[in-house]
Structure 1
Amino acid sequence: MPKFFICVWFLYRRLLSFQPGVNDEILEPSSSGKLKIKDGITFHLYISTAPCGDGALFSPRDSESNNAPLQSLNDKSHQPTFANQVQGVLRTKMEGGEGTIPVDEDFVAQTFDGILRGERLRTMSCSDKLCRWNVLGMQGALLSHFIDPIYLSSLTLGFLYDHGHLSRAMCCRVDRDEPKVETMLPSGYRLNHPWLGRITACEPSRETQKTKALSVNWNFYDDRPEVTDGTEGRCYTGIEKGSMFSRCTKRKFYDAFKHVCQKFGRQDLLQADNYYKAKQMAIDFQQAKQVMLKKFKDQKMRVWVSKPTEEEMFN
């Protein structure tokens, strides 16, 4: 999810430039004791097609459907589609493959030694990750030590837009059954319902194309764009500089996190043994995460598939 990494990288850079007592254009102190995004500052996401998984699987692919009249731009309400029990189920992408598959009802957690023995690594679909954003926020666990949850204001698609399927996949499936998730979440967290829409006209691709491996990332603080091969994690624009690792990696984020900890005097967080432990120390975030996972499981939408813990045990 390059979109997540760009947002997180921007927020780290913003925190490092923040000066207490000096008016900041984006951040301000919060009643929680942390910082928060100022009123009037919003985050918006455009995707060229519906996110893989629940948001794309059931959406019509013909030109007529994708150019159907839109509801009023002033109507931000959601009317999710729940036609059967398959819709809303958590799905994973397969390493080296295209498309998604539903999580097995008896799924066994992935292990590091299993991956080393040749088992295919499974990661959650883009639809599921975006749904997670709408409960836990876009800032992630580490940044939640310093910033209140940040939620997406709008999502715009270029192709495969279907309001009923997209609203279900992005947020509404979390509250399909009682009790409402917001009655269970810690203070500051909520179920976010972003404004959904699409471009005014689109022409569906005539051919099915395999996803490209290369991606480009940039944010306000970067002096140049970065081209990355997502299949290898290799940064092509960094090769001539002597570095092959992208700035949008967990390793780079953890380095930035430690700089932020030093800036704000959080010695307790600097004592964490590794990246994984630092994330676990975000108590409210982890509590909200467990509430979300329980809602999915209780509604028979299966379990969330995580990567082996060893993947995050670096310092």
Structure 2
Amino acid sequence: MIPAGRPFPGSRGASFAQNLSRNLNTAPGLEKSHKQPASLKDSSQYPVKAKVSPQKLIERYMNGESDAVSLLHQLARVFQFHLEMKETIASDVPPPLPLKEESCVGGSCHNRPSYEAKVPVNMQIPHAVRAQLTRLMSFHPEFSGCADTIAAFVIQAGSECKVVALGTGGFNTRENISSNGRILHDSHAVVTARRSLMRYLYRNLLMFYSKNPTLSQQSVYQHKSNSNFLCLKSGISLHLYVNMMPKGAAVIPSKLYLNPLSISAWKVSNEIGLHLMVEGKLVSVFSSEVENLAFKVVSMSTADKITQWQVIGYQGALLSHFIEPIYAQSILIGDSCCSEVRGMEFSVCQRMEGVTSQLPMFYCMMRPLISLVPSVANCTPSSNQLTHCINWSEGDSTLEVVDGLEGKTVEESPFKSGTTLASRLCKAAMLHRFKLVAKEAERQDLLVASSYREAKRMAKPYQEAKSVLRAYLCQKGFGSWLEKFSVSDNFSK
């Protein structure tokens, strides 16, 4: 999040018309009307022979210097054959570009595919979120009006689903960028829930490195063979629930047919490209309004952030020093106003298709199962709590209430960290937990970091994955990611 007065690259990378054409050509029922002359074909479709020998590539893989996916792509270049891998953890997923289907005449559609019917919906997850929200509100009913917009992370182990992090809210702070790390600049529900998840992950790291065997056993982590990083125990998976469709490219208008004959390519580009959140308003990165956002706090849209986290993980840079990337296996949307998830499928999955081969080891584009489920929050916002945001994670004695416009804890909050009213989700609090874990893990190399920014930069694979992702989005014509304002990370405690 940065003031938008900084220069913003306007390059769209690849032509959007080219990207749209490629996607439409692969959609079911669409065929090319003519063959392209060989001389005009895109040379990027044909691999260039690599100079490294196959034996050397296999040795790197056996030594743990690359992963299996990267090895396959490298061997494809060596032997000059076309390799196409579907980056998915689930079968029966929608086509590369989700097309809006025409309405059926007479109520009969014999040839119409039904993707939603093939996606399993775990009804335990919304039930678990509702139960946890009800429990928290029963202790503090005066804040029930803050729970109209909610996001939650759920850990599933076997048949048991447990809410481990929860957040509400929908605001950016109106304050200037903080240089001491004690202001929350983005309090949207998914962001609040994700930072609460990070607190949960830190707490489990402290348990894992504890000298108490019982606590260590209760942690969600385990050592991974041939790796210095920890990973989630076998059989444990992470799921994301949101009760509103994330703002941004996930919200494709009902009349937007992704077809060049029905709408201009420019209009489509604005709809499915990257977006910014400015004072509660959604703005395309291609909009002329971007030039008039000087001195305002700006953040990327929720849909774009989820797209990023499904590639680089939800754990963030600091936790990446200790654990492998953690991805959501499913994203459940409890929005009663939504009837389809094609926009979310495109935003999170199709936009990043093909990026895995360029990512460092352990990182990939994790395609989640996306489905509609019942809503768990039917609260009407209280007029005097419209800007209030709630956060909670497993292990917390009570919830914390933050004023999203101020970026600080409110005086009436059941939990307050101190007289400064800095939230337990702020960057300074995260740096404190990072240092505690580094000390318990006896990682002296991490304790020498001079600032929050330096500690993040030291997570080189994570930073490389983030750079690859953002360059990939720009190259594919979805726009440039807004870079963070560096002064906000230049604090040491």
Q: TM-score, normalised by structure 1?
A: 0.80
CA distance in structure 1 between the aligned counterparts of 2:470 and 2:258, rounded to whole angstroms = 20
Shift in Å at residue 228 of structure 1? 1.1
Match for residue 462 of structure 2? 285
User: Counterparts of 2:341 and 2:378 in 1: how far apart (Å)?
Assistant: 17
The corresponding residue for 1:14 is 204
* CA distance in 1 between partners of 2:408 and 2:280 (Å): 20
1:47 aligned to which of 204, 226, 242: 242
Q: Which amino acid is the alignment partner of residue 355 of structure 2?
A: V
Aligned-partner Cα distance in 2 for 1:309–1:286: 14
In the TM superposition, 1:192-211 aligns within 5 A as 192-200=366-374
Q: Distance in 2 between matches of 1:240 and 1:292?
A: 36
In structure 1, list runs of 5 or more residues that go unmatched: 62-80
Q: Aligned pair in 2 of structure 1 residues 301, 87: CA closer, same or farther (>3 Å)?
A: same
CA contact (8 A) 1:43 1:153 kept: yes
Q: Do the aligned residues in 1 keep the contact of 2:205 with 2:219 (CA within 8 Å)?
A: no
CA RMSD of aligned residues (A): 3.1
In structure 1, the residue matched to 2:431 is 254
- In the TM superposition, 1:11-160 aligns within 5 A as 11-19=201-209, 22-30=216-224, 31-56=226-251, 58-60=252-254, 82-83=258-259, 84-94=268-278, 97-104=279-286, 119-159=295-335, 160=338
Cα distance per residue 1:210-252 (max 9 Å; x no partner): x942111111111111111121111122459635111111110
Output one character per residue of 1:240-293: Cα deviation in whole Å (capped at 9) or x when no partner: 963511111111000000111111111111111111111011011011111101
1:186 match: 360
Instruction: Give the superposition deviation at 1:161.
Output: 5.0
CA contact (8 A) 1:82 1:168 kept: no
Q: Return the alpha-carbon distance in structure 1 between the equivalents of residues 207 and 328 of structure 2.
A: 23
Count of aligned residue pairs for this structure pair: 281
Residues 276 and 298 of structure 2 are in contact (CA less than 8 Å); yes or no, is this contact kept in structure 1?
yes
In structure 1, what residue type is equivalent to 2:276? T
| Equivalent of residue 271 in structure 1, options 448, 453, 461 | 448
Structure 2 residue corresponding to 1:308, chosen from 475, 482, 485: 485
* Structure having the higher Rg: 2
| 17-26 or 287-296: bigger deviation | 17-26
What is the distance in 1 between the residues matched to 2:484 and 2:360?
25
The answer to whether the 8 A contact 1:181-1:295 is kept is yes
Summarize the Cα distance change of 1:60–1:215 in structure 2 as closer, same or farther, 3 Å threshold: farther
Distance 1:273 1:201, change over 3 A: closer
Q: 8 Å contact 1:52–1:99 — kept in the other structure?
A: no
User: Is the 1:213–1:230 Cα contact (8 Å) retained in structure 2?
Assistant: yes
Contact 1:171–1:193 at 8 Å: present in 2 too? yes
The amino acid across from 1:181 in the alignment is V
Q: Decide which moves more: 13-22 or 141-150.
A: 13-22
Q: Give the corresponding residue for 1:169.
A: 347
Contact 1:27 1:36 in 2 (8 A): yes
> Tell me, what secondary structure is at the counterpart of 1:166?
helix
Distance in 1 of aligned mates of 2:199 and 2:254: 35
- Give, in whole Å, the separation in 1 of the partners of 2:378 and 2:392: 28
In 2, Cα distance between the equivalents of 1:240 and 1:273?
24
Measured after TM superposition, the shift of residue 149 of structure 1 is: 0.3
Amino acid at match of 2:223: P
